[in-house]
Amino acid sequence: MQRRDVLKLVSAASLMGGVLGPKQLAHAIDKKAVTAASRNLFKELGIRTFINARGTITAMTGSLMHQEVLDAIQDGAQAFCMLDEVQDKVGERIAKMVHSEAAVVTSGAFSALTLGLAGVLTGMDEHKVRQLPHLEGTGMKSEVICQKSHDIVYNKALTNTGCKMIMVESAAELKNAINDKTALLFFLNIEADKGQIGHEEFVRIGKAHNIPTMIDIAADVPPVSNLWRFNDMGFDLVCISGGKAMRGPQSAGILMGRKAIIDAARLSMPPRGFNIGRGMKVNKEEVLGMYVALEKFVNQDHDATWKNWEARTAKIAKRIEKLPGIQTLVFVPKLGNVTPNLEISWKADAFKLSGEAIAEQLRKGTPSIELGEVKSNSVSLTVWMMKPGEEDIVAERLSEELQKAKA
């Protein structure tokens, strides 16, 4: 079945007020996905697949790659080449797109953090590369400073190099904390509004003290301009996930920034095997896939994409709002995962079920659906990672379950 036909089917079904139930609609959409494949491994292995109404979550395998990215991976798998050469050539193209001096494809944003810091610590000294994560007595620096509100689990990526995190709150504290052991100043974009020190001031302090600055923007496109905004602003290193909004390979990310640091970071990466990064391998298929995903993302019509998300979100809202006692609210997170989210809420006594129970019903239903954040009297979702037409299924299933739950 062609995509066009599926869409026709889906829109016809929704016009006819759901002649096709969620099961049949899901089947039509799935069928399209598996026509090319001779096997359906999910079925064969009994793995639950679901409609993703939640977003780009690692535990839910992130995002679905576009056909162009799959083609790049397929192409990349057809020939041998030198791993360093594919990184060199792809890195140059990526750097141009994101306004940085250099770039390298890493195995996710997490490893970009580790490898970027490794590059800062070792420079081009292979002996130091071999010594990591042991810093004592090596002459290498050993501290990374960040704002208290920017201290999240992913900072483990930085301490993996052997460095210690030093927490500060004010700009004065930051300046005071800088000493001859300070390797890096680290900024977490998604918590930018929680700290006292803003992006620009942070970069200024780094430059004044000659300490490199790094920013984690893992989940922070759209807007697409974030790809270059922080390079333009003067951060020395910028780390982003490849498999979130950009829909590149889920196990890829990009480290971009100063050439001298990225050249040094690559000493801690495969194909070299004497380093802390040997387990963070990305092969040519993912490097090429990441490149194509980035290129497609940069060149896509972001306004049209946004309008499409809004229209599909509104479609679900319209369907659900018809139910008495239900309220809907569209909200857009400010700093990361910036896409329209729909919150569906009700007065605590209007329905027999909690948000958690409704989410469980949708998870157990056919097709299975994973919602976003759930509370006792609300559930939320986003169409961001849904395939075309899946919003109709989600609207139908939600409406079924909410009607059942009506007190």
Ligand X SMILES: *Cc1c(COP(=O)(O)O)cnc(C)c1O
Examine residue 215 and tell whether it contacts ligand X (CB under 6 A). Answer: no
Residue 75: how many other CB atoms lie within 10 Å: 14
Considering only the stretches 36-44, 85-93, 107-115, 200-208, report the one whose residues sit in contact with ligand X under the rule CB under 6 A.
107-115
Residues within window 341-380 making contact with ligand X, judged by CB under 6 A: none
Considering only the stretches 108-116, 133-141, 172-180, 387-395, report the one whose residues sit in contact with ligand X under the rule CB under 6 A.
108-116
Exposure of 175 in the CB half-sphere (CA atoms within 13 A): 9
Residues within window 246-265 making contact with ligand X, judged by CB under 6 A: 253
**41: burial class by Cβ within 10 Å (0-12, 13-18, 19+)?**
exposed
Residues within window 6-65 making contact with ligand X, judged by CB under 6 A: 58
Considering only the stretches 24-32, 215-223, 307-315, 320-328, report the one whose residues sit in contact with ligand X under the rule CB under 6 A.
215-223
Of these, 158, 163, 219, 381, which contacts ligand X (CB under 6 A)?
Answer: 219
- For ligand X, give the closer residue by CB, 218 or 317: 218
- For ligand X, give the closer residue by CB, 216 or 390: 216
Signed CA dihedral, 207, 209, 211, 214: sign only: negative
C-alpha 397 chain-centroid distance: 27
Buried b / exposed e over 300-318, threshold 16 CB at 10 Å, is eeeeebbeebeebbbbbbe
Task: Give the CA dihedral 210, 212, 217, 221, nearest 10 degrees.
Answer: 70
Examine residue 306 and tell whether it contacts ligand X (CB under 6 A). Answer: no
- For ligand X, give the closer residue by CB, 60 or 81: 60
92, containing H or E segment = helix 83-98
* CB contact set of 301 (below 8 Å; sequence gap of 6+): none
Residue 211, token pair as written in the block:
């300490």
- For ligand X, give the closer residue by CB, 91 or 242: 242
Closest CA to 103 of 263, 220, 214, 286: 263
Examine residue 269 and tell whether it contacts ligand X (CB under 6 A). Answer: no
Question: How far is Cα 265 from Cα 249, in angstroms, rounded to an integer?
Answer: 21
Examine residue 147 and tell whether it contacts ligand X (CB under 6 A). Answer: no
Examine residue 154 and tell whether it contacts ligand X (CB under 6 A). Answer: yes
For ligand X, which residue has the nearest CB?
108
Of these, 73, 197, 216, 230, which contacts ligand X (CB under 6 A)?
Answer: 216
Examine residue 235 and tell whether it contacts ligand X (CB under 6 A). Answer: no
- For ligand X, give the closer residue by CB, 61 or 366: 61
- Is 233 in contact with 203 (CB distance < 8 Å)? yes
Considering only the stretches 83-91, 202-210, 212-220, 314-322, report the one whose residues sit in contact with ligand X under the rule CB under 6 A.
212-220
Closest CA to 118 of 127, 129, 106, 107: 129
Please state the closest distance from residue 98 (CB atom) to ligand X, in A: 16
- Residue in this structure with the two tokens 């504290």, named with its chain if needed: 173
- For ligand X, give the closer residue by CB, 98 or 398: 98
Examine residue 135 and tell whether it contacts ligand X (CB under 6 A). Answer: no
Examine residue 116 and tell whether it contacts ligand X (CB under 6 A). Answer: no
Examine residue 289 and tell whether it contacts ligand X (CB under 6 A). Answer: no
Of these, 103, 110, 206, 341, which contacts ligand X (CB under 6 A)?
Answer: 110
Question: How far is Cα 377 from Cα 344, in angstroms, rounded to an integer?
Answer: 8
- For ligand X, give the closer residue by CB, 105 or 394: 105
Of these, 6, 13, 65, 109, which contacts ligand X (CB under 6 A)?
Answer: 109
* CB contact set of 54 (below 8 Å; sequence gap of 6+): 60, 370, 371, 372, 381, 382, 385
Exposure of 315 in the CB half-sphere (CA atoms within 13 A): 20
Question: How far is Cα 206 from Cα 264, in angstroms, rounded to an integer?
Answer: 20
Considering only the stretches 216-224, 254-262, 309-317, 398-406, report the one whose residues sit in contact with ligand X under the rule CB under 6 A.
216-224
- For ligand X, give the closer residue by CB, 351 or 384: 384
Question: How far is Cα 168 from Cα 179, in angstroms, rounded to an integer?
Answer: 14
The one-letter amino acid code at 327 reads: Q
Residues within window 190-209 making contact with ligand X, judged by CB under 6 A: 190
Residues found near ligand X in the complex (CB under 6 A): 58, 108-110, 154, 190, 216, 218-219, 241, 253
